[in-house]
Amino acid sequence: MKILVCISKAPDTTAKIAFKDNNTAFDENNVQYIVNPYDEWYALVRALELKETLGGTVTTVSVGGTDMEAIIRKAFAIGADDGVRIDAEPTDAYFVAEQIASYAKQGGFDIILAGKETINYNGSSLGGMLAELLDMPYVSMATKLDVAGTTATIECDIDGGTEVLECDFPLVISAAKGMAEARIPNMRGIMAARTKALNVIAPVAADKLTEVKSYTLAQGRTTCKMIDAENAGSLIEMLHNEAKVI
């Protein structure tokens, strides 16, 4: 079984968000990057679990500059066999999907996994676009993935519940919470990561369908009205009369 896992980087969850160049670009100063949690905790770890029980290989693919390599090595330390970096600045999800699709077309992958979204752009776009460009079935927001022979069984969230789906290889899946538990790389993994193959390939041409023109920080709340615990019940009147939410 050949599994491809799409890996992206994201600012550490506690990073201070700021913008530069007249609010047209994210200010990376003092920002620590991590493997996007959905890609790492759920997609990559589940891929590794499947490989460990059923055999096969786990390859990662990322679109980015040289700064992406530390992120890819982290995925190696956790257990990925090898990785590909497509050497281009990711401009939007469609651009990234075109790059990965072009690579994956030659790869003969059985399962392509992505995280359900990145925690910086929160688009939930890549998996669906990739599946369309590859003409493959797509299951989004999967919370469980099992494989028997060449068939995947997937559980995913639907409105007000869950459903269990079955699909033959090849297919694209986006991974949400529930698929696996986070893994902490051990010393052996970290040592091995240095010698695993990280192949750099050139990007293909792709249309720039969207671009971010500017950013603004979200407005925080200014005042918190304190209510005495003894008098907690008065909150309900305030929610009705003042906030008008009940």
Partner 1 sequence: MSILVYTESSKGKIKKASLEAVNYAAEIAAKTGTTATAIIINAGDASLEDLGKAGANKVLHVNNASINASDSQVLTRILNHVAESEASSIVIFSNDLTAKAVAPRLAARMKAGFVPGAVDYPQTDGAFTVNKNVFSGKAIATYQVNSAKKVISLLPNSFQVKTDAAAVAATNFDVPADLLASRIKVKEVKRETNELSLPEAELVVSAGRGMKGPENWGMIEDLAKQLGAATACSRPVSDIGWRPHHEHVGQTGIAIRPNLYIAVGISGAIQHLAGVNGSKTIVVINKDPEAPFFKAADYGIIGDAFDVVPKLIEAVKKFKASQN
Ligand X SMILES: Cc1cc2nc3c(=O)[nH]c(=O)nc-3n(C[C@H](O)[C@H](O)[C@H](O)COP(=O)(O)OP(=O)(O)OC[C@H]3O[C@@H](n4cnc5c(N)ncnc54)[C@H](O)[C@@H]3O)c2cc1C
Based on the shown chain and the rule CB under 6 A, indicate whether residue 106 belongs to the binding site for ligand X.
no
- The distance of closest approach from Cβ of residue 133 to ligand X in the complex, given in angstroms and rounded to an integer, is 30
Number of other residues whose CB lies within 10 A of the CB of residue 124? 18
Based on the shown chain and the rule CB under 6 A, indicate whether residue 13 belongs to the binding site for ligand X.
yes
- The distance of closest approach from Cβ of residue 196 to partner 1 in the complex, given in angstroms and rounded to an integer, is 27
Three-point CA angle 43, 46, 50, nearest 5°: 135
Based on the shown chain and the rule CB under 8 A, indicate whether residue 60 belongs to the binding site for partner 1.
no
- Neighbour-count burial of 234, counting CB atoms closer than 10 A to its CB (0-12 exposed, 13-18 middle, 19+ buried): exposed
Q: Cβ-closest residue to ligand X?
A: 13
Peptide bond into 185 cis (omega under 30): no
**Residues facing residue 151 across a β-bridge:** 148, 168
Virtual torsion, Cα 36, 84, 25, 217, nearest 10 deg: -10
Binding mask 199-238 for partner 1 (x = CB under 8 A): --------xxxxxxxxxxxx-xx-xxxxxxx--xxxxxxx
Based on the shown chain and the rule CB under 6 A, indicate whether residue 178 belongs to the binding site for ligand X.
no
Based on the shown chain and the rule CB under 6 A, indicate whether residue 37 belongs to the binding site for ligand X.
yes
| Of 60, 75, 124, 193, the one binding partner 1 by CB under 8 A | 124
Q: Binding-site residue total for ligand X (CB under 6 A)?
A: 2
**Strand, coil or helix: 163:** strand
Q: Which residues bind ligand X (CB under 6 A)?
A: 13, 37
